[in-house]
Amino acid sequence: METRKEKILRRDDGLRVKVISKLIQYSNKAEYKQYVLVCQKRKRTWISPTDTNNYTYRRLSMEDREKRRVAEMKEFVSETELSCALVELWENLKP
């Protein structure tokens, strides 16, 4: 089962940043994931800041890929904005 919450942040330069928070529940555990997508000024296409199609990314181990994804994600959003998006997901989960 998966629960998802999206939050769109608007920057002063016209850039829009979408923070996607997910709660993924397995049979015996739960896991939180967060993703960031970016939409340039006067565009409609949401693009991931991580280029997963280049050779240097594909050459990395799974742990290094996750570290790189998080580092590139934090170029566009702060820790506070990420935690606020996660809190909004938790608020939606309340009965």
pLDDT of 95 over the 80 cut: no
Number of domains in the chain: 1
For 40-83, what is each residue's pLDDT tens digit? Answer: 999 999 999 998 898 999 999 999 999 999 999 999 999 999 99
Chain position carrying tokens 């570290």: 67
Work out the mean pLDDT of the chain and round it to a whole number: 92
21 phi and psi angles, rounded to 5 deg: -110, 135
Give the domain range for residue 80.
2-93
What is the structure's pLDDT at 35? 93
What is the structure's pLDDT at 2? 78
- Angstrom distances, CA of residue 86 to CA of 21, 58, 71, 75: 6, 28, 18, 18
What is the pLDDT confidence band of residue 93, given thresholds at 50, 70 and 90?
Answer: confident
The Cα–Cα gap between 50 and 69 comes to 6
